[in-house]
Structure 1
């Protein structure tokens, strides 16, 4: 499934995420900054600009305490004011370690070297389901042995996304990496979930349908079933 399978809020613009990262006049005047060079308020300001320019209206940023990742999911839910722990999500940069030698970037979203996968914190990614999805997406033209998605090394993830560990978000990435969204997130009620916000201590809550319209993800079953 893609975003066409879900309703999109009227007036919401469809834009390339990496293009949106450079749409403001401030970006046109100044050289590109690395993640380390951007101050914390500026990261939030940039992401707010991307979301607003794309017509996203239902989002919220929240700074969390330094011990956030030492807390249980229930405690994190309370910090964010989330409805349930099911609404706490994370983004992971994955690399296809068996991609053919000529596949080195993200130019073909159906057969990309990298994907950003968004899943719930209380779910486990099923790499075999993702492998089968991408294999089927390519209509069997590429051997299954050429798909083996693994978590990208931290340095590689930061180089591609522009965000450090525990700060990764599919919005405003340095590279326009295709996004895969767990269908469990797409079906959450209420349809508002939390994920990384560009800084380790910054989290972003966003309306699910607006997130789908903005990032154009593949929406698939990519986690292990309960039990």
Structure 2
């Protein structure tokens, strides 16, 4: 039996359709068919970054993992509204991953692949309702070295990485970054805020590899899979939380 080009195209279309259903299974607001006319419709196009994130989670055997698509207006909502959409009992369970660039790092990322004590880039996971304390982060990274060989504080200057570096180092676009499936896995230390590790729910949500895909996982599974540095690196956000602030990560 001869397989034609049209047969292969039809098979590919079926595979892509099944893949879209797989990713959207837990999210009725995510459109997987062209006839969905919902005003909050999210058109699902499964790409390599989403596949990479999911494959990393599955390889790690994270049985607590939950994937959920969120509707188009999600990033215009308040934190309580987002928590309700995800079924979270507290806004403190809503977290983001931020790539930080040490502007004072004097070695290349390749040279520093196995030295988390003086990284060029660090991925921090903090709550949306908190702010990053860069001084505490710097102290945490410096403390990874014994005192006699510890680098001076002047050799650290952590800033939010540029969009170009973020895409290149993580392999994920803005608002879709997840610590799972980083394209530079093993060369970027992951730092988990202590406030997340101490959540009474022992479960939190973060980006899932797509701007409208969220990944929920237990604290225990996260720590087992990624062996992150757990440290006090955040402070509770004081005052009003604007939409702009909440769109990071």
- Counterpart residue number, 2:69: 63
In structure 1, distance between residues paired with 2:222 and 2:155? 30
- Counterpart residue number, 2:128: 121
TM-score scaled by structure 2?
0.71
| Matched positions, count | 189
Alignment of structure 1 residues 90-109 onto 2, 5 Å: 90-100=96-106, 102-105=107-110, 106-107=112-113, 108-109=115-116
Q: Retained in 1: the 8 A contact 2:55–2:181?
A: no
- Cα deviation, 1:98-143, whole Å, max 9, x if unaligned, reads 112x243451112111010000000010000011111222234211
- Cα deviation, 1:68-104, whole Å, max 9, x if unaligned, reads 111000110011111110000000000101112x243
- Counterpart residue number, 1:205: 216
- Cα deviation, 1:166-197, whole Å, max 9, x if unaligned, reads 00000001112210000100011111100000
Distance 1:136 1:72, change over 3 A: same
- Counterpart residue number, 1:162: 171
CA RMSD of superposed structures (Å): 1.9
- CA shift, 1:40, in A, is 2.3
In structure 2, distance between residues paired with 1:65 and 1:203? 11
- Counterpart residue number, 2:182: 173
- Cα deviation, 1:22-43, whole Å, max 9, x if unaligned, reads xxxxxxxxxxxxxxxx942665
Rg (Cα) greater in structure: 2
**What are the ranges of 5 or more consecutive residues in structure 1 without an aligned counterpart?**
1-37
In structure 2, distance between residues paired with 1:78 and 1:150? 32
**What are the ranges of 5 or more consecutive residues in structure 2 without an aligned counterpart?**
1-43, 239-249
Q: Retained in 1: the 8 A contact 2:129–2:237?
A: no
